[in-house]
Structure 1
Amino acid sequence: MTIAQPLFSPLTLTEWRREFLNDPKRITEIYAAFNTTEENNDPAWIFKATQPLIVSQIERLLTALASGEKTLEDFPLFGVPFAVKDNIDVAQMPTSAACPAFTRLAEQDATVVAKLKAAGAIAIGKTNLDQFATGLVGTRSPYGAVPNTFNADYVSGGSSSGSASVVARGLAAFALGTDTAGSGRVPAGFNNIVGLKPTKGWLSTHGVVPACRLNDCVSVFALTVEDAYTVARIAGGYDEQDAYSRANPHTAPARFAATPRLAIPDTLEFYGDSQSQAAFEKSVARLQALGAQLVPIDFTPFRELAEQLYAGAWVAERTVAVGAILQSQPEAMDPTVRGIVESGLRFSACDAWRAEYARAALSRLIQSQLADFDALVVPTSPTIHTLEEMKEEPVRYNSHFGYYTNFTNLADLCALALPGDFRDDGLPAGITLIAPAWRDAALAHFGVLWQQAVMLPLGATNKALPAPQPALRSDAHVRLAVVGAHLRGMPLNFQLTTRDAVFIEETTTDASYRLYALANTTPPKPGLARMSGGAPIAVELWDIPLARFGEFVAEIPAPLGIGTLTLADGRLVKGFICEPQALTDAADITPWGGWKAWLARHQSA
């Protein structure tokens, strides 16, 4: 293996951690070959980090390790190269938003970048985009159009075109984009990668050039769902500096139901593109094979809300965001972008309020429609076009790409774009799962299952999907072991399910517990106690939303309570325990190995 190979090989986060596990100082050798030339012939990059910028990031990490201030475990992203869309600030790198006249040198990192650097990641450059993040095509940039990574005649998708391209080719382990109308999803779909569009306000937009501040999200591109969600967890969190940042209420479920219920548009639009339609139908069949139940719903409110983003007064938000350069140097802007931004000037304050009332009404209707579903599944884009076709119809074809994306942020939904079945011409198509706010963890968990089912090569790298990692855990949930009346099929199980707790797995405790049938309890309940001479006891693990855990515990009657249990594999989880005095007149049922087994034998006796 050559020194530079790990940097330019498509490695997942787990593989990057292995690179430095035994010798963190290898980071200096690995990055020594990065950007040894100033020439940049790759339109995906606007700026590649210089060696001094790379070295300064590396020295900070190695100094922290050498001083003993930090250990490698404190840097979950140690040495991982990442790229940043050039409307997000990286200290000592230019921020252009793909407009040379707008370019300035960033004095400090955007909040999300600072968090990723603090976790050990190395920012290697700034990526191309549709100017001022206005477009879904990847062609509206003076730095050149970013071609599709599978067929250079086709568009890459935008506006986060460069970020998607470098991830799809394995040039960066992950990349940050932004998503206002679909910019973190369409390029993912067109390049066979994962695009995580988080809940609005989870990832701070402090240090991001705004497009539409009310709807802007920092998004994550990666080769795998595990990597995208890991990055989002590290980069996310409430930020006082961002007026639109939100704290996670910790009320959403951790996973889909055992039999997922997915909404699907009752009428699907592909603009006559039979290849995209056929690819989506194959993906739908895969979803059904995974056990999902697909239920058609009226897509009208979604479509009407999507139309609001550019056809209504919402476009004036873009005018506000870049108004200064529009007024002083309109000739410096991409003509198509300028036309869109200028159109916001025709709307009045009254128009803006009417648009907000319409958004609120449609959003409420959408939330009601999705209430009984785990998610909505749609094609990431209904079609794709060549670079030449985009020159002929730059606005109309762009709007086609946003048919299944434009409504998402207006309706306060989160989304996950996933690789899907390819078109017959060899181009990626992709599907997107969309759910109410804060269900990002549930989307990610199902997304992992989906990637394992389709088993596509990662991006444009031909690298196979790695073996599955341990199941994703969410810090917004409490993993709880139940042993008796809260088990599935038992009379108190509803206390979990009505709080959006989801079943994870069946397992056992380690061999240091004994189980008792308590006297005079209604409904009948067991008591679990740690003591010598114990045995493994059957338990079920459930993930309950953190905010619902307290009210669940409040319903637990004496002599039961919640403590920390040790499972057979050494994991520590919260679980039911019993006060010792209640065991004096209880029946020891440890030999049966669990509550259900004892009930079955007891009832058949």
Structure 2
Amino acid sequence: MSATKSVEQKTAGLGWNIKQWAAAYRQGSEPVELLPLLREQIAALEADAGSSVWIQLGTEQQLLAQIENLQAKRANGDSLPLYGVPFAVKDNIDVAGFSTTAACPEFAYQPTEDATAVHLLKQAGAIVIGKTNLDQFATGLVGTRSPYGAVKNSFNSDYISGGSSSGSAVAVAKGYVAFALGTDTAGSGRVPAGFNHIVGLKASVGAISTTGVVPACRSLDCVSIFALNSLDAERVFEVAGRFDRTDAYSRSRTMIRNTRIQRLAIPTEAPWFGDDTQAAAYEQACEHAEALGYELVKTDFSPLFELANLLYQGPWVAERYAAVGEFLAQDLPGINPVVKSIVAGGINGTAVDAFKAEYRRKDLVRKIDALFTDIDALFVPTTPRFPTMTEVNAEPVLVNSQLGTYTNFVNLADLCAIALPAKLRSDGLPFGITLIAPAWHEIALGQFAAHWQAFMTLPEAPVLLGNKSDESIVVAVVGAHLTGMPLNHQLTSRYATLLEQTLTANKYQLYALANTVPPKPGLVRVSDSALAQDSTLGNQLIVELWRIDLAGFGSFVAEIPQPLGIGTLELADGRLVKGFICEPEAVASATHISEFGGWRAYIKHLNSTK
């Protein structure tokens, strides 16, 4: 659905991703027109659904005040990469002009400043639509521990939405906002992403400032990002991921580049707690990963599971008590009894217990670090089960603990992670996988996410109106559009994403075309009859695969000059993708260069002979 059509139907903004918001503004719409209308639509839909997504949906006055500041920034010539894009903020993160409740009415206070992450996003042009519901004091992975009501799952209200960032995840899944901020200490930015079929990025500890965030475990807390697609999550991270001297746990970004994820660790023995449907969905996801060319390595996850158990059995519960324990001890009406009982346990430990737990953590982290000498990332189900509301109400602590199987250890081990949608379960519920890598490998996670999403056709979530997915096409480029080549900007300017370098099937020839500026090659497929007579005519040639959205693809193709065009290429592993082809007539005046194996090697050869 185009942005223009949505506006005409008075459904402005529902289901739009960042690119669609940008398109609407390029076509002449203004934030002062679209955002109040979006707010009205959300309010009406939430009133009908009764899903408790919001603790505070922004008033029209709150929106207009932000829009006025935005227009002043634009008039000043500020860079605004997120101009007018609406987002939601978990209500344990400060937003000036909104109260911060942490899902406890008696705790509420009025911050005078935005949290650092919110400030950076506003500076980039984004607009806060409202504050979202959560498991109280960010204690829980279920989405049910709030006096403001349990947040309903966006697919099936009989099942939990996941927590603690439940409202933020559902706000994105329902298409209310393009992205949302959550927090993640033990999985709160990944579990609800998995249960609502969206992307959840938990960057390295300290990558996004937690100044202005109500602490849970301050030494482990992360601000997380929910988005409709991985590219949007990356864009938000680029804005929000900045060093902050006001946060003692903030770290300067030391992003690991030029690392490609290929070998994936999967658990030798995976606990499913009786959820056979979840197990089958993971098996299907593993098959899909192998089909995409990834190597799966069965690995002993014992150190990871033991570390996960330490989170609620060691001194990190005491850290929660240090944050809010004295407040919870007041036993006020709005305090959730499960949250209170969990945090109260933090007062029982001793300093000796804390040191013993820290020693054990360091021993386990050393073992976990060793795993990454042989593998590039962990490929795990986001959760081992998908419980119903009834199951959580019956065993709130036990079920919550089970949900943290693949999430609790991540911050303790200083890892980063991204939760991604996979194919739906056989019962129609969402299923998600999570990729986990060492700290500062966010770029590699993004590349994997782009590859995963580009080659997986996912059914749409039952969001409102609009298209939740960032529909895209994979294009193989062979010459002047390769990374670092003169025409690569035609891809990057359209926000295309490099997926991988690979080879064509052994059925092609490459030519250097005559009289082209900049120099361009022509890729020609050898006919099956010719190959049958002489198989040496075919060659495997190097290509890059790029993901580009449908709108960008159309304008990209319009720039391709004769004798080049876009057709279907066969890759060495049998995949069929769109890619550059050349009219056979053009090779009469061209130079045959297949022997070089690719355009980059040929250009290097030319330069060396000058």
Normalised to the residue count of structure 1, the TM-score between the two structures is: 0.77
Matched-pair contact (CA < 8 Å) for 1:4–1:34:
no
Q: Which residue of the other structure, out of 39, 46, 49, is the alignment partner of 2:58?
A: 49
Query: What SS does structure 1 have at the residue aligned with 2:417?
Result: strand
State the Cα distance separating 1:341 from its structure 2 match. Answer: 0.3
Query: What SS does structure 2 have at the residue aligned with 1:408?
Result: helix
Matched-pair contact (CA < 8 Å) for 2:186–2:408:
yes
Q: Which residue of the other structure, out of 194, 198, 217, is the alignment partner of 1:193?
A: 198
Shift of the 238–505 alpha-carbon distance from structure 1 to 2, 3 Å rule, reads farther
Question: 1:104 aligns to what?
Answer: 109
Query: What SS does structure 2 have at the residue aligned with 1:94?
Result: coil
Q: Is 2:445 the partner of 1:440?
A: no
1:412-436, CA deviations, whole angstroms, 9 ceiling, x for partnerless residues?
0000000012222111111000000
State the Cα distance separating 1:311 from its structure 2 match. Answer: 1.5
Instruction: Map 1:417-436 to 2 at 5 A.
Output: 417-436=419-438
Matched-pair contact (CA < 8 Å) for 1:319–1:344:
yes
State the Cα distance separating 1:237 from its structure 2 match. Answer: 1.1
Task: Point out the more displaced range, 439-448 or 134-143.
Answer: 439-448
Query: What SS does structure 2 have at the residue aligned with 1:360?
Result: helix
Query: What SS does structure 1 have at the residue aligned with 2:311?
Result: helix
Query: What SS does structure 1 have at the residue aligned with 2:343?
Result: helix
Q: Which amino acid aligns with 2:257?
A: P
Q: Is 2:37 the partner of 1:33?
A: yes
Q: Which residue of the other structure, out of 204, 208, 220, is the alignment partner of 1:203?
A: 208
Task: Point out the more displaced range, 105-114 or 39-48.
Answer: 39-48
CA distance in 1, matches of 2:139, 2:172: 21
State the Cα distance separating 1:228 from its structure 2 match. Answer: 0.9
CA distance in 2, matches of 1:235, 1:367: 27
State the Cα distance separating 1:464 from its structure 2 match. Answer: 6.2
Query: What SS does structure 2 have at the residue aligned with 1:454?
Result: coil
Q: Which amino acid aligns with 1:117?
A: K
Q: Which amino acid aligns with 2:174?
A: R
Matched-pair contact (CA < 8 Å) for 1:6–1:30:
no
Q: Which amino acid aligns with 1:88?
A: I
CA distance in 2, matches of 1:365, 1:311: 20
Q: Which amino acid aligns with 1:400?
A: Q
Instruction: Map 1:225-240 to 2 at 5 A.
Output: 225-240=230-245
Question: 1:563 aligns to what?
Answer: none
Matched-pair contact (CA < 8 Å) for 1:457–1:464:
no
CA distance in 1, matches of 2:11, 2:243: 34
Shift of the 403–591 alpha-carbon distance from structure 1 to 2, 3 Å rule, reads closer
Shift of the 225–255 alpha-carbon distance from structure 1 to 2, 3 Å rule, reads farther
CA distance in 2, matches of 1:541, 1:273: 40
Q: Which residue of the other structure, out of 329, 336, 339, is the alignment partner of 2:338?
A: 336
Matched-pair contact (CA < 8 Å) for 1:313–1:347:
yes
State the Cα distance separating 1:353 from its structure 2 match. Answer: 1.2
Shift of the 427–591 alpha-carbon distance from structure 1 to 2, 3 Å rule, reads closer
Q: Which amino acid aligns with 2:209?
A: S
Q: Which amino acid aligns with 1:102?
A: F
State the Cα distance separating 1:339 from its structure 2 match. Answer: 0.5
State the Cα distance separating 1:333 from its structure 2 match. Answer: 1.8
Q: Which residue of the other structure, out of 463, 470, 480, is the alignment partner of 1:466?
A: 470
Q: Which residue of the other structure, out of 117, 122, 126, is the alignment partner of 1:117?
A: 122
CA distance in 1, matches of 2:139, 2:448: 31
CA distance in 2, matches of 1:334, 1:152: 21
CA distance in 2, matches of 1:539, 1:61: 46
State the Cα distance separating 1:480 from its structure 2 match. Answer: 6.3
Question: 2:531 aligns to what?
Answer: none
Question: 2:568 aligns to what?
Answer: none
Q: Which amino acid aligns with 1:352?
A: A
Task: Point out the more displaced range, 166-175 or 363-372.
Answer: 363-372
CA distance in 2, matches of 1:379, 1:292: 16
Q: Is 2:316 the partner of 1:291?
A: no
Matched-pair contact (CA < 8 Å) for 1:86–1:127:
yes
Shift of the 411–420 alpha-carbon distance from structure 1 to 2, 3 Å rule, reads same
State the Cα distance separating 1:467 from its structure 2 match. Answer: 3.3
Task: Point out the more displaced range, 408-417 or 459-468.
Answer: 459-468
Q: Which amino acid aligns with 2:93?
A: I
CA distance in 2, matches of 1:469, 1:177: 30
CA distance in 1, matches of 2:378, 2:231: 21
1:193-216, CA deviations, whole angstroms, 9 ceiling, x for partnerless residues?
100011111110000000001110
1:346-382, CA deviations, whole angstroms, 9 ceiling, x for partnerless residues?
1011111111111111111101112232210010000
Q: Which amino acid aligns with 1:70?
A: G
1:12-70, CA deviations, whole angstroms, 9 ceiling, x for partnerless residues?
1111100101425x2211123244569964401000101111001111122333x3x11
State the Cα distance separating 1:318 from its structure 2 match. Answer: 0.5
Shift of the 591–432 alpha-carbon distance from structure 1 to 2, 3 Å rule, reads closer
Shift of the 597–2 alpha-carbon distance from structure 1 to 2, 3 Å rule, reads closer
Question: 1:60 aligns to what?
Answer: 69
Q: Is 2:13 the partner of 1:12?
A: no
**Structure 2: 5+ residue stretches without partners:** 1-5, 476-482, 487-498, 504-509, 520-540, 546-559, 562-590
Question: 2:386 aligns to what?
Answer: 384
Shift of the 503–451 alpha-carbon distance from structure 1 to 2, 3 Å rule, reads closer
Matched-pair contact (CA < 8 Å) for 2:15–2:468:
no
Shift of the 539–146 alpha-carbon distance from structure 1 to 2, 3 Å rule, reads closer
Shift of the 176–151 alpha-carbon distance from structure 1 to 2, 3 Å rule, reads same
Question: 1:375 aligns to what?
Answer: 377
**Structure 1: 5+ residue stretches without partners:** 472-478, 483-501, 514-537, 543-567, 570-589
CA distance in 2, matches of 1:426, 1:591: 52
Q: Is 2:260 the partner of 1:256?
A: yes
CA distance in 1, matches of 2:401, 2:603: 62
CA distance in 1, matches of 2:9, 2:183: 29
CA distance in 1, matches of 2:266, 2:12: 40
CA distance in 2, matches of 1:130, 1:274: 27
Q: Which amino acid aligns with 2:37?
A: A
Shift of the 346–6 alpha-carbon distance from structure 1 to 2, 3 Å rule, reads same
Question: 2:278 aligns to what?
Answer: 276
CA distance in 1, matches of 2:297, 2:409: 20
Matched-pair contact (CA < 8 Å) for 2:51–2:152:
no
Q: Which amino acid aligns with 2:59?
A: T
Matched-pair contact (CA < 8 Å) for 1:4–1:32:
no
Shift of the 254–193 alpha-carbon distance from structure 1 to 2, 3 Å rule, reads farther
CA distance in 2, matches of 1:370, 1:78: 39
Shift of the 287–100 alpha-carbon distance from structure 1 to 2, 3 Å rule, reads same
Task: Point out the more displaced range, 435-444 or 4-13.
Answer: 4-13
Q: Which amino acid aligns with 2:441?
A: R
CA distance in 1, matches of 2:201, 2:20: 21
Q: Which residue of the other structure, out of 163, 178, 183, is the alignment partner of 1:158?
A: 163
Supply the RMSD in Å over aligned alpha carbons. 3.1
1:301-321, CA deviations, whole angstroms, 9 ceiling, x for partnerless residues?
000000000022221111111
State the Cα distance separating 1:108 from its structure 2 match. Answer: 0.9
Instruction: Return structure 1 stretches of 4+ with deviation > 6 angstroms.
Output: 479-482, 505-510, 538-542, 590-595, 598-601
Shift of the 243–480 alpha-carbon distance from structure 1 to 2, 3 Å rule, reads farther
Matched-pair contact (CA < 8 Å) for 1:330–1:338:
no
Shift of the 217–595 alpha-carbon distance from structure 1 to 2, 3 Å rule, reads closer
State the Cα distance separating 1:84 from its structure 2 match. Answer: 0.4
Task: Point out the more displaced range, 155-164 or 318-327.
Answer: 318-327
CA distance in 2, matches of 1:162, 1:284: 30
CA distance in 2, matches of 1:596, 1:389: 60
Q: Which amino acid aligns with 1:409?
A: N
Q: Is 2:77 the partner of 1:70?
A: yes
CA distance in 1, matches of 2:329, 2:444: 44
CA distance in 2, matches of 1:313, 1:34: 44
CA distance in 2, matches of 1:44, 1:213: 25
Shift of the 503–227 alpha-carbon distance from structure 1 to 2, 3 Å rule, reads closer
Q: Which amino acid aligns with 1:235?
A: A
Matched-pair contact (CA < 8 Å) for 1:7–1:81:
no
CA distance in 1, matches of 2:236, 2:419: 15
Q: Which amino acid aligns with 1:98?
A: A
